[in-house]
Structure 1
Amino acid sequence: MSETEMADYEQILPLIKDDPDTALQYLEKLRALPDSSARFDFLIGNLHFQNDRKQQAAADFIKAIGKFPDYRQAHANLAILYAQAGAHKEAVRHFTEAIRLGAVDATNYGLLAISHLTLENFTAAEEAFRLAMVLAPDIKDWEMGLMRSLYMQERFPEVVSMLDRMIAANPADDSLWTLQANAHMGRKDMLAAAANYEVLHQMGKLETAQLSTLGDIYVNEGMLEAAADAYLRAYEKTGGGDVSVPLRAAEILLAKEGFKASRGLLQKVQSAGESKLTPEDRRRVMKLEAKIGMAEGREAEAVKILTQVAEQDPLDGETLLMLGGYYQKEGNNEKAAFYYETAGNIEAFEADAKTRLAQLYTGMGKYAEAIPLLKRAQDLKPRDSVAKFLEDLERFMKSRR
């Protein structure tokens, strides 16, 4: 900057604070002079920046850098603008240059780290957050950023340890408990995650989806009664309006042979009022009752319910297969074949239905009729067990010739 420019600069400084519009006009005139200083471009850019004219500000900072490539503050301000605009690749370039030129402070390191994190440069983000924390250890944003960068690198033990300290300092922050629950799940410590979820429930901060996840955790740990309780809490959190939560839960518990727990959830759904159930919901409830009945040896009662379901929804392939299986077990081959054949006309169930029908025919000695059914089933849904069944049956037929 020349002596004349320096004099102009000193004259403008008070105006920038007291009358920025007049200062801007004056600066524009000075910039228009031949070989004007990069500082004028920078000051103009700052005035635009302060008035949220971001595109103009960016253009001015670029001009300043064009005249003076090592303009540290122009790089730093331009980086901030790029970060705000979501242009994080450019932001990284200019933050890095500003730091190289001496703009070593927590803000620049922290913002650089955020851009790296957004770009999924997790290792670089981690290092930048650590440097920001060294310079400003009291800024919680940098600690949270470091924790997230570690989480994205799946360094879950370190994340859990960090969150232990953060939770101890701020136990009422539910977001920290949630993040730690996720980290526990990342390291496959599911009961520790469940413990966090229970704390969140006590805080009144556990969402319906998280309660369902809690139930799933308990199911996988074999704690079926605890699972039923979690699923029930999820149902109650919806106000009893969304029956899909307890019905899904009852199906999960039933698959794990939690018959008592499954029945308890069904009773809660039914006690909440039949009027809330859609026809499809009622059929789901009926099927669950039938499955529980089958599992507990009340097969005749269960078959009556399944027959009603099949009458209400003739395209319910699962119900048709269950009825076929019951009648096959009872030796009523005609009825079993009827239900298998009917299920075989439903695209989603054709492969399973034809396999079951082939098994029925094989037991009846109808080997020739079973073979094309198995071939069709294998075309639709290749399975090793069906392939072996078909191979054995064809070998047996050849041996009889």
Structure 2
Amino acid sequence: MKLVHSKAYAAIMVSACLYAQSNSTHAELHIKLQQPTWEFLLHNQPQPTTELSTQAQLASSESHFASKIQPLLAAQKYDAVLKAFNERDIKNDSAALRQLRGQILLSMQRTKEAEQALLAAIELMPNLALAHRSLSMVYMVEKNYVAASKHLRKTIELGVADAQVYGQLAYVNLQQGQAASAVAGYQYALLLDSDNQQWQQGLLYALINSQAFDQAQALLEGMLQANPKDTNLWLQRGQIALKQQRPQQALSSLETALVLGENNADNIATLAQLHIQSGSANRAVTLLANNITKMVANNNKIEVIDQVCAWLAYQQQWQQLANLTQALQKNTNNIPAHYRSRFAVYAAQVAQSNGKTKHATKLLEEAVNNDPSNGEALLTLANILRSQQRTQRANLYYIRAEALADYKERALLGRAQLEIDANNYPEALRLLRLVAQLNPARTDVLANIQSLENLVRNRS
């Protein structure tokens, strides 16, 4: 007598395949984007004192000092300028010189000292626009976006409202999670400087963060026309497509990025998963196998490979599964024991599909050695041994699997089948009743119990 649902316990495991269906083909995918480089400081170099006078006048006693540092400023020899400033007491300087000192310090990335100098300038002249603007830069560098926003708004209020200021304010708003305000700021910046790629990139990020994907898509297509070889733009196109549930566009965008030189492991893994979802397993396996070294260097990427292997096993695409497991064998030293065990089970499935039961058994034993808690390996090995009528060893592996909560039910069913094969129906009944207690919804088990009870009664 055989249990009605004994096929569920054949050597090809089922639960891993179900895992592949629920995770590999439907998991939310992401594309890793490079953070843009914001270059605000390049547009805020210290200005010669003659230009500063339009907002803050030098004192007559400072003209000699101004003429002394003028050529040093022109040559951008800021160390020498600062040395000259250090010979003066800032308390005796005008707002113009205090502001210039702050700009010099900011250019040298001495932000704390720059902050003190600029605040001192504002103390003398509260409406000194350039000092507020430079002070906003100090706070942006220090990531104090609340303070940066305050001084940028003051700068605009004082009449300095160029593209750079609007772009900086948009950036600050974006960093504070105010994506809608950032959109408006970047749009103002682009009105004043329409070809500025930094403002375009900022607007794109702001639109994506405000969930305005259609607008982001339209902007991005224009940016791609101007820069078709910009890898990061193609990655962003893919990310927007994922957000809009358009996997084919995401796939094609990532493939283009790959041609242009993209080699980030996260994005290769995402592309492989997209190919699995679209049914192109060959391409998915090629991507993973060709980049296997960088994949196994990251546990998150190993999990993706595991999911793809499980999906291939479920689809019985044995040749592709063989290609992937063979690639993994070259990197076994870099793979944690838990995953080595799982990959050995997949390789065993390939061996079984080719009728190589002996090799499959060896691989399953390796899997158990690498991870004694691998229930799939224990059950699959037990099933092979049972099919070979090596009942004692099979029973030992079933008992080991039974100790694992997630595999107890299947292990009990395997043991019950062993007892049925040995015509030990009372023990088989006891084991099946344990299964029924664990899972009362198993009507097939209840039917098997009834059949066995009838058989026992007829025998007596």
TM superposition score normalised by structure 2: 0.66
Deviation at 1:180, TM superposition (A): 1.6
- The 5 A counterparts of 1:16-27 are 16-18=69-71, 20=81, 25=87
Deviation at 1:154, TM superposition (A): 3.2
Ranked by relative contact order (alpha carbons within 8 Å, sequence separation 6 or more), the top structure is: 2
Alignment partner, residue 318 of structure 1: 376
Alignment partner, residue 129 of structure 1: 186
Unaligned 5+ segments in structure 2 are 1-52, 73-80, 418-424, 454-460
**Count of aligned pairs:** 372
- Cα 1:179–1:333, aligned 2, differ >3 Å: closer, same or farther? same
- Cα 1:301–1:158, aligned 2, differ >3 Å: closer, same or farther? farther
Alignment partner, residue 72 of structure 1: 129
SS at match of 2:441: helix
SS at match of 1:204: coil
Alignment partner, residue 338 of structure 1: 396
Query: Does residue 92 in structure 1 map to residue 145 in structure 2?
Result: no
- The 5 A counterparts of 1:1-400 are 6-8=59-61, 13-18=66-71, 20=81, 25=87, 28=90, 30-31=92-93, 38-39=95-96, 41-49=98-106, 52-235=109-292, 248=306, 249-267=308-326, 286-294=344-352, 296=353, 298=355, 300=357, 304-305=361-362, 308-309=365-366, 312-313=369-370, 315=372, 316-326=374-384, 336-345=394-403, 350-360=404-414, 364=425, 366-369=428-431, 386=439, 388-389=441-442
Q: Distance in 2 between matches of 1:236 and 1:297?
A: 27
Deviation at 1:78, TM superposition (A): 0.6
SS at match of 1:356: helix
Residues 50-89 of structure 1 show CA distances to partners (whole Å, capped at 9, x for unaligned) of: 5554322211222333344333222111101111122222
Deviates more, 1:301-310 or 1:166-175: 301-310
Q: Distance in 2 between matches of 1:245 and 1:275?
A: 16
Q: Distance in 2 between matches of 1:161 and 1:332?
A: 66
Deviation at 1:13, TM superposition (A): 4.1
Q: 1:150 corresponds to which letter in structure 2?
A: L
SS at match of 1:388: coil
Alignment partner, residue 24 of structure 2: none
Q: 1:353 corresponds to which letter in structure 2?
A: Y
Deviation at 1:341, TM superposition (A): 0.8
- Cα 1:62–1:189, aligned 2, differ >3 Å: closer, same or farther? same
Residues 261-319 of structure 1 show CA distances to partners (whole Å, capped at 9, x for unaligned) of: 2123345566x69999999888656522322355x484845763456436755714321
Q: Distance in 2 between matches of 1:96 and 1:238?
A: 47
SS at match of 1:217: helix
Deviates more, 1:61-70 or 1:111-120: 61-70
| Contact preservation (8 Å) 1:246, 1:265 | no
| Contact preservation (8 Å) 1:320, 1:339 | yes
Q: 1:319 corresponds to which letter in structure 2?
A: A
- Cα 1:344–1:245, aligned 2, differ >3 Å: closer, same or farther? closer
Unaligned 5+ segments in structure 1 are 32-36, 379-385
Report the aligned-residue RMSD.
4.3
Q: 1:355 corresponds to which letter in structure 2?
A: E
| Contact preservation (8 Å) 1:27, 1:44 | no
| Contact preservation (8 Å) 2:361, 2:384 | no
Deviation at 1:326, TM superposition (A): 4.9
Percentage of pairs with the same residue: 20
Deviation at 1:208, TM superposition (A): 4.0
Q: Distance in 1 between matches of 2:96 and 2:335?
A: 72
| Contact preservation (8 Å) 1:76, 1:95 | yes
Q: Distance in 2 between matches of 1:355 and 1:178?
A: 46
- Cα 1:310–1:208, aligned 2, differ >3 Å: closer, same or farther? closer
Q: Distance in 1 between matches of 2:331 and 2:96?
A: 74
